[in-house]
Each structure stands twice: as structure tokens, then as C-alpha cells.
Amino acid sequence: MRRQNIDFLELINFFLDAIYKDAKESSNAVIFDYDPSYPRRYDIDATNTIKAIENLTKIFLYSQTKAKILIGFKLVNYSSSQIHFNVTIRCDKTPNQTDERLLNKAKECALAAEASIEMPKSNEFLLQIKATLAGNFRGKNSLELQNEVIKKYSAVIAYENEAGFHILSNQLKFVGINVRPTSDYQSLKRHVTDAIFKPDIVFISKAFLNDEAEFEELLKFKKLKNFCIVAICEDDENFGKNAGEVIILRQPYTYDVLRAVLDMCYAVKLGAKRG
């Protein structure tokens, strides 16, 4: 075991970039959940821990298509010096069989990291890990923004993935952004076309933008109300001639990426006002 005091989430960012490509090639999607209130810097064998998560995720990725895989961290116990996470890797489909080679590799990495693996369901793995804290548990707000104005924003979300919607909604609420509670496209349309309501950011799944007429209508209201369109992309990122009209939020992401997206939205809206 090689424990280091490290920004664990920073390394997770690199892992998610790689797993996105694997998910895209296998026609699947991965969602990631790590609460912004959790600590992110601690002593942990990050290499073996992430390798274990990677291999468990690939068991689901390589055994089927059109599946949604959730990688979720839950803080189950902590003290002034140690924290315990349950990492759930869950698929919305049950694979026909488990790749024993990948499972054995995951178990080897987990053992090296002093973690344990369970399979409570045929479509779910549970990785139990522990880490040693160095410093204040609460630490710095991990979703601290470049400008306080963003905290006064309002947002609407149209995202057919229920888990993805709740994760994004909770992250936005964490920084103070007002989020409408519904996730369906028709509700988003009503808010966007409403004569009074003016959203600052519209988060919308790429799947809803494939209809060219609907996309053009959304762009019309974007120019009228000066909101940003953030496209949630689980695989396809191609927007053709309208590529410059959207900001891409690629799944899976950490809140580091979301913070950058929000800062970008602020810059775009500020530029539009000055323009």
C-alpha cells in the first residue's frame, strides 16, 4: 500500500476522462456522484483505489450496451483523523455474466489499498475504503466560484437520467443557485417560453437537442433572454453549426468541471451584456 496525502478528486478527474471514452466506445453512459461537502484531500492509496473502481466499472461497460452506470461515493463514518467511504458501482441492467479477469484485478487492487469489495446485488458492487485525514474535515468550499453573482442565478434542467438530474440539482443548490424541481423537457420549455421567468442557465440533455426545430426555438429564446445553454453529453458531443451556442458538460464529471462551466456561463453572459 502506497498512501499519499493527495487531492483525491483531482486524480478522479483524470479517471473520469478515460472512462468516458470507454463508455462512449461501448455505447454506455457513466454518472459520477461525490458530494461537494465531502473532504477531498487525505492520505490514501489513490492509484490502487481508482484502479479497483475502474475495473469494477468496466465489468458493466464491457458486458452490455445502452446501460447507465452510477459511481457514487457515500461518506459512512468519520472522525477527526479517519474517514470511511462506501463506493457504489451500480448498473441499471444486470450483466449476463461477470468478467472474472476484471473482478480479480479489482480485488487485487482493493487488497493493496486495504479496501474490500462486496457484490450485494447482481448489478452492483460495493467498494469499502478508508483514508486518513490531514487537517480540517470541512476544509475549503470545493465549489467556490469566481464571482458571487453566480449564486443569485436561476437554472432549469431537462435531463432524462433521474440520478444525473438529482446530482446536478444538488450541486447547483449547494452553491446557492435556484433550481426548478422538475427534470422533463416540457417543463423546461414552459419555463423558457414564459413571459416573466428568465433563467440564467438552461441545462439540457443532448438527447433533447437532436430535434433541429426544437433546438432552433431554444436558441431564439436564448438570444431574447440572455441565458446560457449547457448541454449534458453522455456520448455524442457534435452540435454542427450550433457548436458555438452551447457549453458542454460531459458525463461523467466532478464538481471541479461544473465549477468551470458555471464560471464560463458568467463570462458568456457578461460578454453578451457588454456586446
User: Cα(130)–Cα(82) distance, rounded to whole angstroms?
Assistant: 7
pLDDT band at 235; cut points 50, 70, 90? confident
Q: What single-letter DSSP state applies at residue 153?
A: -
Q: Which of 164, 209, 167 is nearest to 189 (CA)?
A: 209
Mean pLDDT of the chain: 91
Residues in the chain: 275
pLDDT at 274 over 90: no
Q: What is the pTM of this model?
A: 0.92
* Domains observed in the chain: 5-133 (3.30.565.10), 148-272 (3.40.50.2300)
User: Cα(124)–Cα(144) distance, rounded to whole angstroms?
Assistant: 33
pLDDT in tens, 127-178: 999 999 876 555 445 666 777 899 899 999 999 999 999 999 999 999 999 9
| pLDDT at site 148 | 84
| pLDDT at site 247 | 96
Show the cell assigned to 163. 440520478
Show the cell assigned to 120. 450485494
3 state SS of 202: strand
pLDDT in tens, 175-198: 999 999 889 999 999 999 998 899
Distances (CA, A) of 36 to 3, 40, 127, 174, 260: 23, 9, 20, 8, 14
| pLDDT at site 143 | 64
Supply the DSSP string of 226-262, one letter for each residue: T-EEEEEESS----GGGGGGEEEEESS--HHHHHHHH
